[in-house]
Amino acid sequence: MQSVCIPALLFAAGSAVAAGTVNVRFVEADKYADIGRSEREREANLKAIEQHLQRLGARYLADGQTLTLEVTDVDLAGSLRPFARRADELRIVKGTADWPRIVLRYALEAGGQSLKRGEAQLSDLNYTGHISAYGSGEPLRYEKQMLDAWFKASFAAPQ
């Protein structure tokens, strides 16, 4: 039992070293290319993206750093198709011209100083070809995978 607890504590201590903050603002989300159809689905997807970005900040940003993100567009992976036996639609992922895309502006600050700022147009044309850390049941797994790669490349301290 102790051998399981000690690695878990070491992992928790190691991930506590980075402790930056991420503030996310969704700009005119009602005009996004595709964030979901129903109000409930849109809200759940926006919340999932926000929480994922905040987890990435806690993992990769240094203590005292604040990353402000303004998301200006989202186009989820796949496309919606009518589902024959229900009034709902089903998201179909083919891995062709239906890749995920997120457009955002960012500003990284620490101690009142601007460290980095810019705009990013994230997309992953090969989103179905990667080995994913997320299971098939994970909501927004392709978008999370894309955000992971961008965040790590843009904000993680060199190792």
User: Considering the domain boundaries, does residue 52 fall inside one?
Assistant: yes
Tell me what pLDDT residue 91 has.
Answer: 61
Tell me what pLDDT residue 148 has.
Answer: 96
What distance in Å separates the CA atoms of residue 42 and residue 17, rounded to the nearest whole number?
A: 33
User: Considering the domain boundaries, does residue 13 fall inside one?
Assistant: no
User: Considering the domain boundaries, does residue 10 fall inside one?
Assistant: no
How many independent structural domains does the chain possess? 1
User: Considering the domain boundaries, does residue 3 fall inside one?
Assistant: no
pLDDT along the chain (159 residues), means of 10: 41 55 97 91 96 97 97 87 58 70 98 97 87 86 95 88
User: Considering the domain boundaries, does residue 88 fall inside one?
Assistant: yes
Q: What are the DSSP E strand ranges found in 46-100? A: 65-75, 79-82, 89-92
Tell me what pLDDT residue 30 has.
Answer: 95
158 SS3 class: coil
Residue 53 sits in which domain range?
18-155
Each residue of 90-104: b (16+ CB within 10 Å) or e? Answer: ebebeeeebbbbbbb
User: Considering the domain boundaries, does residue 6 fall inside one?
Assistant: no
User: Considering the domain boundaries, does residue 121 fall inside one?
Assistant: yes
Region of residue 12 (left: phi > 0; alpha: psi -120 to 50; beta: else): alpha
User: Considering the domain boundaries, does residue 143 fall inside one?
Assistant: yes
Tell me what pLDDT residue 158 has.
Answer: 75
